[in-house]
């Protein structure tokens, strides 16, 4: 049986969110279900669950059938999470440190994020590796490796670790290998957030193979649903997104979503820019 993974802080975040809104949503209930399946809940986590159930019995918390209860006036509040935890095995060197137009690609992505929101988090197992190149306004979250694993556990679980630290209704999730990302495109996409159905957990661009999960917007309260999926053994962003409503962002220029994963991708980018001076920082 797959051992449930309880993301650090998930229960306290769920409790705080429910207390603030006055409702326990369907997403919250999924999160509680995942937590109760865990075999090693500590006393603080059990106390958080007991307080929430007591509040329901006393009528202080109401049960909502919706996935989320988000106030209309706050749907445009936004943070950004940049994932920098990959092994770069196909590139053969740390792609986050490759210079694009004289700027390390990770720094470039962070600068794009800061143009959309003042709250940008960088999630990485190696904060020391990147501390000299990150913009001053970025906050670093150290990614914690799953017990028994020595390598990064994948973007979905990493995203959940980052989402614990977020206090806005929406999160812009970005990979660190998007060298052609454009501020204006993201800002235009962000204007769509107030129009998203309250049942949708995300609004993302799409390609022929499926969603582009590492360049789009997620509701913060999708966290319990992601934890439930992970605790059932899931690791695929695509399979998780297939389980819930997701709305689509229009893409007028597919090159904005170009991923630089291999030396061949880098050569293609160099050729398109007419610049051969792409080196490690």
Return the domain boundaries, the chain. 73-222+232-257
Report whether pLDDT(75) > 50.
Answer: no
Report whether pLDDT(42) > 90.
Answer: no
Report whether pLDDT(10) > 70.
Answer: no
Specify the pTM: 0.73
Report whether pLDDT(77) > 70.
Answer: yes
184-242 pLDDT, tens digit each: 999 999 999 999 999 999 999 998 889 999 999 999 999 999 988 998 889 899 999 99
91-126 pLDDT, tens digit each: 767 788 888 888 899 999 999 999 999 999 999 998
Report whether pLDDT(270) > 90.
Answer: no
| Angle (deg, nearest 10), helices 26-36 and 10-21 | 150
* Average pLDDT taken over every residue of the chain: 81
Identify which has the larger pLDDT, 226 or 18.
226
186 burial via Cβ count (<10 Å: 0-12, 13-18, 19+):
buried
Query: Which CATH superfamily groups domain 73-222+232-257?
Result: Spore Coat Polysaccharide Biosynthesis Protein SpsA; Chain A (3.90.550.10)
Place 66 in a pLDDT band, splitting at 50, 70 and 90: low
Identify which has the larger pLDDT, 2 or 201.
201
pLDDT of residue 276: 45
pLDDT of residue 68: 57
The residue-averaged pLDDT of 250-272 equals 80
The residue-averaged pLDDT of 148-152 equals 52
pLDDT of residue 247: 98
Report whether pLDDT(4) > 60.
Answer: no
| Angle (deg, nearest 10), helices 43-57 and 10-21 | 20
The residue-averaged pLDDT of 5-14 equals 60
Report whether pLDDT(148) > 70.
Answer: no
Grouping H, G, I as helix, E, B as strand and the rest as coil, residue 151 is coil
Alpha-carbon span 264 to 17, nearest angstrom:
45
pLDDT > 70: percent of the chain = 77
Report whether pLDDT(62) > 90.
Answer: no
Q: Which two tokens stand for residue 142?
A: 């150290």
Place 267 in a pLDDT band, splitting at 50, 70 and 90: confident
Report whether pLDDT(25) > 70.
Answer: yes
Task: Find the DSSP H helices in the chain.
Answer: 10-21, 26-36, 43-57, 105-114, 127-130, 155-163, 183-190, 223-231, 237-241, 263-273
Q: 3-class secondary structure for 82-133?
A: EECCCCCCCCCCCHHHEEECCEEHHHHHHHHHHCCCCCEEEEECCHHHHCCC
pLDDT of residue 72: 35
Alpha-carbon span 181 to 63, nearest angstrom:
41
pLDDT of residue 172: 97
Report whether pLDDT(73) > 60.
Answer: no
């Amino acid at each position: 049986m797959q051992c449930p993974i309880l993301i650090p802080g998930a229960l306290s975040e769920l409790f705080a969110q429910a207390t603030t809104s006055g409702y326990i949503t369907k997403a919250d209930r999924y999160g509680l279900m995942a937590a109760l399946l865990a075999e090693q809940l500590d006393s603080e986590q059990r106390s958080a669950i007991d307080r929430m159930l007591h509040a329901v019995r006393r009528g202080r918390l109401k049960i909502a059938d919706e996935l989320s209860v988000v106030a209309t006036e706050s749907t445009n509040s936004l943070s950004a999470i940049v994932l920098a935890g990959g092994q770069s095995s196909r590139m053969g060197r740390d792609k986050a440190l490759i210079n694009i137009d004289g700027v390390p690609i990770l720094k470039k992505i962070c600068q794009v994020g800061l143009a959309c929101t003042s709250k940008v988090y960088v999630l990485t197992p190696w904060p020391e590796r990147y501390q000299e190149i990150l913009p001053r306004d970025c906050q670093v979250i150290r990614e914690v490796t799953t017990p028994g694993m020595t390598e990064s556990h994948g973007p979905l679980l990493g995203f959940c670790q980052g989402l614990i630290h977020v206090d806005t209704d929406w999160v812009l999730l970005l990979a660190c290998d998007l060298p052609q990302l454009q501020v204006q495109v993201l800002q235009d996409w962000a204007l769509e957030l107030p129009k998203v159905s309250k049942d949708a957990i995300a609004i993302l661009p799409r390609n022929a193979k499926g969603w582009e999960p590492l360049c789009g917007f997620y509701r913060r309260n999708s966290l319990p649903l992601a934890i439930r999926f992970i605790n059932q053994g899931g690791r695929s962003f695509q399979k998780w997104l297939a389980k819930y409503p997701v709305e689509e962002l229009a893409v007028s220029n597919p090159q904005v979503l170009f991923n630089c994963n291999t030396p061949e991708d880098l050569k293609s980018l160099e050729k398109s820019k007419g610049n051969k001076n792409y080196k490690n920082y």
